[in-house]
Each structure stands twice: as structure tokens, then as C-alpha cells.
């Protein structure tokens, strides 16, 4: 029996999509054992920042692609709208199943349609594409950012934080929440994201038998439609956060493509429409991109607000890393901060962790607070894992508040302070050798408990040089 591991993001929607593909694989071959493995993406872990500011292409897919390349998983299931148009070398799309409804929908508790919303109604969406099209149709609306998975967004609506929210019909349908849809927004008002409603199954190019198996799941009409849309996006040079709306549909072997690209805050929008034979899907997308560029379209990428170079300034000065690919080798949980800064400078960042941070089994019981003089934290990770190890024994980190605490650097000190503990000592340099030097410099020079100026003789004296 062959064992296939499918990687998925951990959201309810992502898992529903992945389990659908897993079920289809089992139908194709009863001798396949399928395992679903959850892999967290940078877009999932950063929930307190507007999506447009998280930055970069592939914020929901890179970690899955890393797992594919290193052999941790065999397949990855993506919402196609999240997948960059250029895949890492060695990876390919093995199947694009039939598309769900690609359109956007309005969800509201009180109002029956977008037109019926009152003046200055609060509408939640994290998509720049949706924001600019909403404002083009209703400039009076208050567009508010909303993050979280589909159930979280619906809950925020029900709590009264918004008058309405805009979601993808496909997500609601796949989660069995179609009854929440208030209005399906027509293409004249809201064109969907490139690839919206479609799934993509990604795998390694050299996995021949899986590619042959997945080919049976591919839908030619859907594949042609999204090929046209992705060729359009690639022709404009954009990413999944570009405020570009596009919808290609195939009927009777003919492909129609409608696209719109918008300026920020409901500014001028440029729209194209063309029809071509289905076999010319990629050419249709490239032609639509060329038409938009000829009409004066400028790429408006949500990760960097549009700005034309000033007189005497070229693009290299505003995005000095444009065209450069940068590999970040930090642990996956710590990639986001550096990656965002690099992407702001124009780099295409690829996360390739060469280390992994994990907890270790403690050989014996952790000493109780009254048996500890000092705790030395050598990283922010150490603070987190020490807290988790204590929690496993029903002990709170706060119970060590009477201990002296050494934090090796500012990030580690911040991690300690965030957990409500004071930092007693922080070396000038964030290296292990500096800890000993800091101890010697800061310890009491007396061994007498009666003359200790800081009343901490029992904690300090064992650290003094003999």
C-alpha cells in the first residue's frame, strides 16, 4: 500500500479542501493510504496585522512548498488564488479540480444587499481588491480590515463589529455555510481574485506516479479559465495582493475574460473584456494584461503603496532589492519579521529553514521557586518553552517572580517582561560569554548577609569568583 502525505494549512476551510482531495485520491486508488499533515503558514500566524501589510507573494503557501521540497509531504492543497504565478524550481501543479462558485458575496445580519446598506455602513474585508471595488461602487462606505478564518469573520459580524462583510462564495459553500449568503455580488460590481474558487494540488515534478494519478482529477475548463487569469496577473507583474479582479469562464469551447485593475481608495478603474478559443487561454491573459498596460494601468501592489519615482530617482532607489531572490534560513516560526522587511525593499523572499526549534524532554523535575536563585534565559524561545514545561506540571511561570532573572539580549528580555517577570540582569552583548562577565560585574563584593547592599546575599554570593 502506498502512503501519501498531504500538507494543508490548519484553518477549517483549508482542511475541508484538503480532505476533499484526499477523498478523491482514495476513490481513484483504494490501495492508497492518505495522511493529512497540518503546516502553519506565515499568513496564518500573523493575525494582528492587516493582510495588505503582512507582505509578499506566497504568504499562505511558502511553508507548504518548503515541506514539499524537503520531502516532508508529498502533496500540498492550495486555494489557487493564494498560489504565486511562479512556482519554485522542482514543483508543479498536478491537478486543478472543477471550480466552485468564484464570485464574492455579501453577508449581513440586517441588510438584504450592498445597495441597501445605510450611508457610512461598516463593511469588513482584508482584501485590497475588494476594498477598491466596494469604494468604486459605494464611496460612502467605511471599509474596515478584518482578519481570521471564515467562522471568525462571521462571529465578528454577529457580534456587531460590522454591518456587513464580504467573503468568497466558494469558502462558505465548502464549509456548508451557504445559508449565510445575503447577496451574490455581480461581476459588474465585484470581480473576484485571480483563481478564486479553484483548488491547486502541488507536488514535486519528479513524482511521476502521483502526477499521473492526479491528472485524473484535472478539469480542463477550470484549468483553462485559471490559466487565463494567472497569465493576466503574471503579465502585470502582480502578486496575490494586487488589487486586480478577473474572471474567465469557458462555455462551449470559448473562453471569455473580464478584468479590472483599480487605483487605491476607489480611484480610477480600468476594465477589459475579450473572448478567445479555450486553447488560447494563456495568450488571452497576456493580451488582456497588454491592453491594461496600454490603457495606462500601473501595478498597484498592496504590499507597497503606489508611488512614482521622483525626478532624478529610479526604481532601484525605491526598491533596491527588486528582482533579487533572498533565502531566509531562520526557523519557520521566526521568518516573518525579516521576510517582511526584505519584501518591502522589493525582494522575493523564499523561506528555507535550516534549523528547527522544539522543546526537549526534561530529565528530572524542575526545581521549585524556593530552590532557585537565578534563571538564565539564553533566547526568547527558551522563555516560551520553559513556560510550557512548567505548565505541563501545573506550575505557573509567575511563581518564579522572586528569583533573579538574566536575559541574554533585548528580545529575550522583552519575552520575559511580557510574561510579567522582572529582568534582573542583561549583558551588554547578546553572547553567552557576556553572561559571566555581567554576573561578576554586578554581584556583591561581600560574602556577609548583613552587609549586602542589595539584600540578596544568598542569591549573589555563589556566583562570585573564588
CA distance 376 to 459: 13
Q: Which residues pair with 75 in a beta bridge?
A: 6, 203
> Does residue 390 or residue 352 have the better pLDDT?
390
DSSP 414: H
> Does residue 345 or residue 361 have the better pLDDT?
345
pLDDT, tens only, 399-446: 998 898 999 988 898 889 888 888 888 888 888 888 888 877 765 544
CA distance 235 to 114: 32
pLDDT, tens only, 269-311: 789 999 999 999 999 999 999 998 888 775 444 333 333 333 3
User: Which residues, other chains included, contact 419 with Cβ-Cβ below 8 Å and sequence gap of 6+?
Assistant: 383, 387, 397, 398
Q: How far apart are the first and last CA of the chain?
A: 66
Q: How many Cα atoms sit within 13 Å of 165 on the Cβ side?
A: 28
Give me the DSSP letters along 62-128.
HHHHHHHHTTS-SEEEEEGGGS-SSPPTTEEEEE-PPP----EEEE-SS-SSSTTSPTT-EEE---H
Examine the pLDDT at 384 and tell me if it is beyond 60: yes
pLDDT, tens only, 190-214: 999 999 999 999 999 999 999 999 9
What is the structure's pLDDT at 335? Answer: 60
What is the structure's pLDDT at 269? Answer: 76
> Does residue 371 or residue 331 have the better pLDDT?
371
Percent of the chain surpassing pLDDT 70: 80
CA distance 446 to 460: 9
Global confidence as pTM: 0.62
pLDDT, tens only, 79-113: 999 888 888 889 999 999 999 999 999 999 999 99
Query: What phi and psi, each to the nearest 5 degrees, are found at residue 379?
Result: -170, 160
What is the structure's pLDDT at 94? Answer: 96
Beta 269-277 vs 75-79: how paired, if at all?
unpaired
Percent of the chain surpassing pLDDT 90: 48
What is the structure's pLDDT at 279? Answer: 96
Find the radius of gyration of the CA atoms of the chain: 27
Mean residue pLDDT of the chain comes to 82
Confidence of residue 45 (pLDDT cuts 50, 70, 90): very low
Domains and CATH numbers, the chain: 1-99+198-218 (3.40.190.10), 104-184 (3.40.190.10), 369-463 (3.40.50.10090)
The alpha carbon torsion through 128, 129, 130, 132 (nearest 10 deg) reads 80
pLDDT, tens only, 311-345: 334 445 556 887 788 888 877 556 656 776 787 67
Confidence of residue 114 (pLDDT cuts 50, 70, 90): very high
Please answer whether residues 88 and 19 qualify as being in contact, where contact means their C-beta atoms are separated by less than 8 angstroms: no
Q: What are the catalytic residues? A: 82
Q: Which residues pair with 239 in a beta bridge?
A: none
pLDDT, tens only, 132-179: 899 888 999 999 999 888 999 999 999 999 999 999 999 999 999 999
Amino acid at each position: 500500500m502506498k502512503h501519501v502525505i498531504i500538507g494543508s494549512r490548519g484553518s477549517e476551510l483549508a482542511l475541508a479542501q484538503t480532505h476533499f482531495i484526499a477523498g478523491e485520491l482514495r476513490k481513484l486508488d483504494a490501495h492508497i493510504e492518505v495522511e493529512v499533515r497540518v503546516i502553519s503558514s506565515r499568513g496564518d500566524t500573523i493575525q494582528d496585522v492587516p493582510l495588505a501589510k503582512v507582505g509578499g507573494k506566497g504568504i499562505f503557501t511558502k511553508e507548504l512548498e518548503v515541506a514539499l521540497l524537503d520531502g516532508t509531504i508529498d502533496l500540498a492543497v492550495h486555494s489557487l488564488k493564494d498560489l504565486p504565478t511562479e512556482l519554485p524550481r522542482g514543483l508543479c501543479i498536478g491537478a486543478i479540480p472543477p471550480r466552485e462558485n468564484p464570485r464574492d458575496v455579501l453577508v449581513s445580519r440586517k441588510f438584504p444587499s450592498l445597495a441597501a446598506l445605510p450611508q457610512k455602513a461598516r463593511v469588513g474585508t482584508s482584501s485590497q481588491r475588494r476594498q477598491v471595488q466596494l469604494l468604486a461602487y459605494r464611496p460612502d462606505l467605511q471599509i474596515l480590515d478584518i482578519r481570521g478564518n471564515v467562522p471568525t469573520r462571521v462571529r465578528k459580524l454577529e457580534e456587531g463589529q460590522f454591518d456587513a462583510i464580504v467573503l468568497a462564495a466558494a469558502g462558505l459553500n465548502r464549509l456548508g455555510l451557504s445559508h449565510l449568503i445575503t447577496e451574490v455580488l455581480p461581476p459588474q460590481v465585484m470581480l473576484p481574485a485571480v483563481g478564486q474558487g479553484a483548488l491547486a494540488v502541488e507536488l514535486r515534478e519528479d513524482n511521476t506516479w502521483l502526477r499521473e494519478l492526479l491528472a485524473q482529477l484535472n478539469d480542463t475548463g477550470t484549468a483553462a479559465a485559471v490559466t487565463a487569469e494567472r497569465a493576466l496577473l503574471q503579465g502585470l507583474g502582480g502578486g496575490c495582493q494586487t488589487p486586480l479582479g478577473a474572471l474567465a469562464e469557458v462555455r462551449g469551447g470559448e473562453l471569455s475574460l473580464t478584468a479590472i485593475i483599480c487605483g487605491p481608495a476607489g480611484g480610477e478603474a480600468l476594465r477589459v473584456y475579450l473572448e478567445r478559443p479555450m486553447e488560447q487561454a494563456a495568450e488571452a491573459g497576456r493580451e488582456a494584461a497588454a491592453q491594461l498596460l496600454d490603457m495606462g494601468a500601473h501595478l498597484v501592489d498592496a504590499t507597497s503603496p503606489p508611488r512614482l519615482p521622483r525626478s532624478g530617482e529610479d526604481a532601484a532607489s525605491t526598491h533596491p532589492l527588486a528582482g533579487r531572490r533572498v533565502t531566509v534560513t531562520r526557523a519557520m516560526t521566526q521568518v516573518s519579521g525579516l521576510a517582511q522587511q526584505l519584501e518591502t525593499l522589493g525582494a522575493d523572499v523564499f523561506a528555507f529553514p535550516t534549523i528547527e526549534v522544539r522543546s526537549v524532554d526534561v530529565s528530572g523535575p524542575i526545581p521549585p521557586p524556593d530552590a532557585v536563585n537565578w534563571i538564565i534565559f539564553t533566547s526568547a524561545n527558551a522563555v516560551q518553552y520553559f513556560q510550557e514545561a512548567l505548565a505541563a506540571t501545573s506550575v505557573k511561570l509567575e511563581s518564579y517572580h522572586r528569583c533573579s532573572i538574566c536575559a541574554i539580549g533585548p528580545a529575550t528580555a522583552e519575552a520575559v517582561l511580557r510574561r510579567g517577570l522582572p529582568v534582573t540582569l542583561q549583558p551588554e552583548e547578546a553572547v553567552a560569554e557576556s553572561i559571566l562577565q555581567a554576573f561578576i560585574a554586578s554581584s556583591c563584593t561581600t560574602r556577609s548577609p548583613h552587609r549586602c547592599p542589595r539584600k540578596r546575599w544568598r542569591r549573589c554570593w555563589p556566583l562570585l569568583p573564588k
